[in-house]
Chains A and B, each alone.
Chain A
Amino acid sequence: MIIDLPSTTTSRINSKLVHLREEGGAVTLGRVLNLVIVTEDGERTEEAVDAANDASREHPCRVIVVARGARQAAPRLDAQIRVGGDAGASEVIVLRIYGELAEEGASCVIPLLLPDTPVVAWWPFEAPKVPAEDPIGQLAQRRITDAASEQDPIKALEQRRAGYTPGDTDLAWTRLTTWRAMLAAALDLPPHERVTAARVTGAADSPSTDLLAAWFAAYLDIEVSRATAKFSQGMVDVHLSRPSGPVDLARPDGKVGTLTQQGQPPRRVALQRREVRDCLSEELRRLDPDEVYEEALKALGKIVRVDTASAEAQEPAEAGS
């Protein structure tokens, strides 16, 4: 069910919600968190709402979408309430705000937050420079951004590092979970040796590649080179050198990875790029600061950028070691 409330106020939205609950049993109880989605009003707003609806099946939540419209228009708040089949397991409140109000989104969000439940803010596209200092970011325990969907992903990641506050997280990091799990599991197996060098290859504009390289730099305490793959998207290859032979996880086509390591036949693994909804579900699973992400961000400065040619030139030397 979709209810439009044009040119309205938050108290009218609230009373409509109470009314809906009494009338149709569309319950506001049992919601475990508030998810505030902040975006510019546009076509892509719906993509974000859909992803949130999917995630809500695992984490029933109240979704508040703050869609900021034209700044030149007269100040105005248009709301839309979606419950039942149109909202997954959540209830969605879309707030379209115009004019001066567009910069004051937090004032519209506060009255609609469920009492005593955590608040998660999500900027699916462009995010503020320091999310924790943004008025809506200040309301939230957890602030989710997505460097990969910004204009300049690598610069965005740099901003994340500069502005990191406990509770920040980025979907570029979430997309790495399967890679990280696979590589950590590979090192669980014998031979239990120290990793002596690491090289991570990915598209030039892939923030995940940078983060993975930084994660190695932080935890393996070695020099990690970050190489660029010209014709691929996202993460492409990870190469960890060990005295007895390398561990290599390559995904040239963006779908299937091949894991090669000492003492094991080469094995192929499904390693498709994760969808936003999966990432969001994972993010909502925990509400405490992610220290490991912080460590990785801090180590961004330690990675060494190499061009592809020199990365390949290293290969023969290493095989001999």
Chain B
Amino acid sequence: MPLTFSAAEDWRNPLRDPRDKRLPRIAGPCGLVIFGVTGDLSRKKLMPAIYDLANRGLLPPGFGLVGFARRDWADQDFMEVVYEAVKEHARTPFRQSVWDRLAEGIRFVQGSFDDDAAFDSLAETVADLDRERGTGGNHAFYLSVPPSAFPTVVNQLKRSGLATPPEDVPGQWRRVVIEKPFGHDLASAKELNKVVNDVFPEESVFRIDHYLGKETVQNILALRFANQLYEPIWNANYVDHVQITMAEDIGLGGRAGYYDGIGAARDVIQNHLLQLLALIAMEEPVSFRPADLRAEKVKILSATRPTEPFEETSSRGQYSGGWQGGKKVPGLLEEGGFSPDSNTETFAAITAEVNTRRWAGVPFYLRTGKRLGRRVTEVAVIFKRAPHLPFDDTATEELGQNALVVRVQPDEGVTIRFGSKVPGNTMEVRDVTMDFGYGHAFTESSPEAYERLLLDVLLGEPSLFPKNDEVELSWEILDPVLEQWGRGDAPPLEKYKAGSWGPASSAEMLGRTGRHWRRP
């Protein structure tokens, strides 16, 4: 969707006409440095996304890509790794000519994060790229590394002078891209923000929440603010409650190092689900300028609180072994790397309330989990029942509540559920669905989230990146629940069977108010 761009310059390029919608925004001369290039994310998402951008002609000529890792590689070896990753995972067809141009700008620097010499050599490589390839002193640093390494890397960037552009040449930029988790509670998030902001000013920090790069999530804005149909009923007068679900069918085998002690709430609710909540609940921004969009998100997050008492409004669980999708799968405690008495939750659900006039009294139910029934992310807005039904009870027995469901993944689209008469000579009303399949035909060519986000970083377009205040507000919402869960007298962690939709307490937490979870 056409978010407006922030760069306002005195120079008006005569070749740019606002009516010219064909011309893509190509990033200006720049380079990207990736820390942690040997990781999965880098191979499966970042490198292919860079190639796809190049293939679509959106990277500047002379783009530079630098890998930094401990491996004893030469430029050639790293190029080979990128080549393999691109061949295997890129979305767009492989073109030798595009690859050749991209490969000319690939460099590798070997070293560990505490190695001053390695960072000095990185600084040299970057300066070489400026000279040979014309990257123009503009560089983004992608930290695809564990958060514990952030302070070291960020301070090394500062020490080696990479973090700030030279002052004598105006218009150059340095940006840093970081990934979740953005801390594990409010205090640590503040600490992390401080570490990063000490070196990079907030406008140069890009926090990746790849959900926000997805077309369907951006489509929420189009759906809400470009249509007349939904806005009148988008409030507590008509909405009964909202369910936001992000379920995964995979387990946590091999991710113990990252996940143990973190848990589902910190991993998903704090970032993805609360961002979705903000987009669904926020007021209309005065424009799509990044600052205006963010103002509305911050407003809604600051009005959001978890609903108490938490013993009744939240639920957590841990998957146990069982049969899922025709395969026998281990429980969390049997997964390699997790301690056998791990108290980490793999399912978390909370109730939130948004204290604004629009949403007063409408509960927002957020849930996420691993090893659930199937992989699905969706937002369901469930409407109130019609206040009066001129039918007798038997006619509407099978009529549920109207619902509007935004399916974020997979099978992106929007479903509307409403009642319809069953054919026949009796009046009987039953739920039917009307389906818009964004995914069926569009996804094949719509860009990957990382493509969009990386390009936005290089363009300096911050709309789709949560800022430090959003991160801190999200922790403020989640912290009280986490605290309660961590207390000694909290109910013990419930087990749920792999392949089910979570522990019994999850159904109870909605059942108390006569509601129930949608089966996504």
- A interface with B by C-beta (< 8 Å): 29-30, 56-60, 89, 174, 177-178, 180-185, 187-190, 192, 195, 215, 219-221, 255-256, 259, 264-265, 267-270, 272, 281-282, 286, 290-292, 295
B412-435 interface bits toward A, Cβ cutoff 8 Å, 1 = contact, 0 = none: 000000000000000000000001
* B-side interface mostly: loop
Residue interface bits B14-55, CB-to-A below 8 A is 1, else 0 = 111101111110101100000000000000000000000011
Choose one: A30, A269, A272, A286; the contact of B436 (CB below 8 Å).
Answer: A30
Whole-angstrom distance from the CB of B139 to the nearest CB of chain A?
Answer: 16
Q: B15–A282 contact, CB under 8 A?
A: no
Q: What is the interface of chain B, defined by CB distance below 8 A to chain A?
A: 11, 13-17, 19-24, 26, 28-29, 54-55, 57, 60-62, 95, 97-98, 100-101, 104, 131-134, 136, 171, 435-437, 440-442, 444-446
**Closest chain B residue to A272 by CB distance?**
B97
Residues in chain A near residue B15, CB distance under 8 A? 180, 183-184, 187, 215, 219-220
The residue on A at minimum CB distance from B444 is A57
- CA separation between A171 and B388, bound complex, in Å? 57
Decide: A219 near B28, CB < 8 A? Known: A268-B101, A269-B61, A272-B95. no
Question: In the complex, A259→B109 CA distance in Å?
Answer: 28
Alpha-carbon separation in the docked complex, A172 to B17 (Å): 19
Within the complex, the shortest CB–CB distance from A267 to chain B, in Å, comes to 4
Q: How far is the CA of A220 from the CA of B442 in the complex (A)?
A: 37
Closest to A185 in B: B26
* Contact A187 to B134, CB < 8 A, known contacts A57-B441, A269-B101, A281-B445: no
The answer to whether B28 and A292 touch across the interface, beta carbons within 8 angstroms, is: no
Name the residue on A nearest B7 (C-beta).
A188
> What residues of A have a CB within 8 angstroms of the CB of B441 in the complex?
30, 56-60, 89
**What B residues does A181 contact at CB under 8 A?**
23-24, 26, 57
- Is the CB–CB distance between B19 and A292 below 8 Å? yes
Asked whether A264 lies within 8 Å of B29 as measured between CB atoms, the reply is: yes
Is A270 within 8 A of B17, CB to CB? no
Q: Are A265 and B26 in contact (CB under 8 A)?
A: no
Query: Among B16, B21, B134, B435, which residue has its beta carbon within 8 angstroms of that of A267?
Result: B134
Most B-side CB within 10 Å, residue of A178, A189, A295: A189
State whether A265 and B19 are in contact (beta carbons under 8 Å apart), knowing that A178-B57, A187-B14 are contacts in the complex: no
Residue of B nearest to A60 (CB): B441
A185 near B436: Cβ-Cβ < 8 Å: no
**Structural contact, A259 and B61, CB atoms closer than 8 A:** yes
Q: Does the CB pair A30–B97 fall under 8 Å?
A: no
CB distance from A84 to the nearest CB of B (A): 13
- A58 with B101, Cβ < 8 A, contacts A181-B23, A219-B17 known: no
Residues from chain B with a CB closer than 8 A to the CB of A182 are 26, 57, 61
Which residues does chain A contribute within 8 Å of B11, judged by CB atoms?
Answer: 188, 190, 192
Q: In the bound complex, do residue A291 and residue B95 qualify as a contact, i.e. CB atoms below 8 Å apart? A: no
User: Roughly how many angstroms separate A18 CA and B148 CA in the complex, as a whole number?
Assistant: 60
